[in-house]
Structure 1
Amino acid sequence: MVTFPNAKINIGLYITEKRADGFHNLESCFYPVGWCDILEILPAETLSFRSTGLDIPGNPESNLCLKAYHLLKQDFDIPSVSIHLHKVVPIGAGMGGGSADCAFTIKTLNELFLLHLSTQQMENYARKLGSDCAFFIQNRPQYCFGKGDEFANITVDLSGKYIVLVNPNIHISTAEAYSGVKPLKNEIDLQEVLQKPVNDWKDLVKNDFEKHLLPKYPAIENIKNQLYELGAAYASMTGSGSTVFGIFDEEIDTKTQFEKYSIWQGKLS
């Protein structure tokens, strides 16, 4: 079975509190986008995992796809599988690519072996593997809070808008991103503000990581400024960086822009 785990963007990201367990509470709107990996899972005689495309750092045995398999294997008598992940979404880029791979593995195993897991059950498994993972089970725009693994409905419809995602090939670890953040209570009602037209978001909707990461990595700030110069209604770094996105009313020509970087653009649904 072949699936296409997609990335997400954060529209607004507020770090509101340091938790007793060492994590942080946050508020954000997670919105799925079409930049995708390719994941193939097939029944096999022995369990195997391989990756192609972008190089994935670390031990392959610790890959979230394998962790998802082992987690379900604890509760279900599922057979061995062959997992092939073709990595396209940049790593350490604030788009949740690894989390999506994890969630899609859970969904694929559920379908492949008729486990009859509910959405809530799949989300609960995903929560054990990473803060962003559970979002990709439903994979639709949601207001996210807690560690980023609790959700509420949000009425944000960007269908018909165009998005440009630019990754400057800078890897920012979660530890580095959070080391410069001072948690503060969010002074705006993000759910309410996102009901306003996209053009109004520029001065209202912030990503708390930008304050200390943009001065450290001027390329990220330059990309954001370029997207506004190209006519973006709203532009922001997503997640803990380093990818920057711009939302446009119509498709733009980026052939001569951002030549040194990884770029994806498409229509939002």
Structure 2
Amino acid sequence: MSFDVCVKAPAKVNIGLKVLKKRADGFHNIESIFQTLDFSDELHVRRIPQKECIVRCTQMQLPLENTLTKTYSAFCSETNIDFGIEVLLDKFLPAGGGLGGGSSDGASLLKGLSDLAEIQLTDSLADAVAEKVGSDVFFFLHSGFFQKGRGCALVSGRGEVVKAIEPRTDLSFLLIFPGIHSSTKEAYSLVDQAYESGLYESKYKVSYPDFSELKRLYYGFAGAWKFTNSFTPVLIDKYPLIGAALKDILECGADWADMSGSGATVFGVFKSDAAAKEACLKCQKKWKCVVAH
């Protein structure tokens, strides 16, 4: 079987993630730096005559409605294309890992669809589709990834405000997968409970740099980073394995480490590829892990 388009869907990590209190509409504003990594899913897409989206994935069972089917439906409603697609998804990013896998798959399918349909993927078209699929999709579409092969951005609002910045290329990342599936809904619920009970002040003693300072800190020495993830303390309380993974990665020499997104992937930042690979050799005796850049 031949495919018309092959596109990568990269993982992202959150370098710091401040989750603010729930808004009146039920969403949360965030403040974060998102960065893509060269650890990715791959999508192979071909046109089919019947107007439907068929998704095949051998690595995991996807729900009937997923970010790929949502992306196809949203693209159809915005463009009135007259063809369907079959997608073979090679899934390497863990579900519930905080790496934005589903959103990245959706953004990359949108890029593939625009190529297949020979329709320019304008900002307005990208945003119209992202609005219907998920907040993190905005980042992958506007981070610079599809233009440069690497993306990084300051992200705010509920994830739809994306200001691309130049990604650092001098860092290596070690990702540890504790084997825990952390649903976004559960994670936000735990954050809401922590705000209501005052745990961030009384127990976790969490502090965050000002949003205006994130870019400056990002370009500084990673060992001096003061970035914090609001999800980390509440999820460690519920899943101590996350805390154990974080402790191990720091003991293996990471300059800085935290959980990504709403978890449960833990990652450490290293100043060299050699240091990250050496830490990986130590950590893989206990954890499933991978080095990325």
1:152 aligns with 2:168: no
**Structure 1 segment 32-181 matched on structure 2, within 5 A:** 32-46=36-50, 47-57=52-62, 59-60=63-64, 62-78=65-81, 79-138=83-142, 139=145, 140-154=151-165, 157-181=167-191
Return the offset for 1:245: 0.6
Q: Which runs of 5+ in 2 are unaligned?
A: 146-150, 201-205
**Structure 1 segment 178-257 matched on structure 2, within 5 A:** 178-181=188-191, 182=194, 187-189=208-210, 190-201=214-225, 204-250=226-272, 251=274, 252-253=277-278, 254-257=280-283
Q: Distance in 2 between matches of 1:53 and 1:261?
A: 23
Return the offset for 1:179: 1.6
Q: Distance in 2 between matches of 1:192 and 1:111?
A: 36
Q: Distance in 2 between matches of 1:249 and 1:196?
A: 12
**Structure 1 segment 251-266 matched on structure 2, within 5 A:** 251=274, 252-253=277-278, 254-259=280-285, 261-266=287-292
Look up the match of 2:203. none
Return the offset for 1:187: 4.7
Q: Distance in 2 between matches of 1:37 and 1:187?
A: 32
Return the offset for 1:186: 6.9
Change (3 A) 1:265 1:169: same
Query: What is the percent sequence identity of the aligned residues?
Result: 32
Return the offset for 1:261: 3.9
Return the offset for 1:144: 0.3
Q: In structure 2, what residue type is equivalent to 1:148?
A: G
Return the offset for 1:216: 1.9
Q: In structure 2, what residue type is equivalent to 1:7?
A: A
Change (3 A) 1:51 1:260: farther
Q: Which runs of 5+ in 1 are unaligned?
A: none
1:17 aligns with 2:41: no
SS in 1 for 2:235: helix
Q: In structure 2, what residue type is equivalent to 1:188?
A: P
SS in 2 for 1:172: coil
Q: CA RMSD in A?
A: 2.0
SS in 2 for 1:255: helix
Q: In structure 1, what residue type is equivalent to 2:76?
A: K
Instruction: Please identify, of 256-265 and 165-174, the stretch whose mean Cα deviation from structure 2 is larger.
Output: 256-265
Q: Distance in 1 between matches of 2:239 and 2:128?
A: 36
Structure with higher helix content: 2
Q: Distance in 1 between matches of 2:208 and 2:29?
A: 15
Q: Distance in 1 between matches of 2:78 and 2:128?
A: 13
SS in 1 for 2:135: coil
Q: In structure 2, what residue type is equivalent to 1:93?
A: G
Q: In structure 1, what residue type is equivalent to 2:54?
A: F
Look up the match of 2:35. 31
The runs of at least 4 aligned residues of structure 1 exceeding 6 Å deviation read none
Return the offset for 1:43: 0.9
Q: Distance in 1 between matches of 2:239 and 2:74?
A: 38
Q: Distance in 2 between matches of 1:228 and 1:133?
A: 30
Scaled by the length of structure 1, the TM-score of the pair is: 0.90
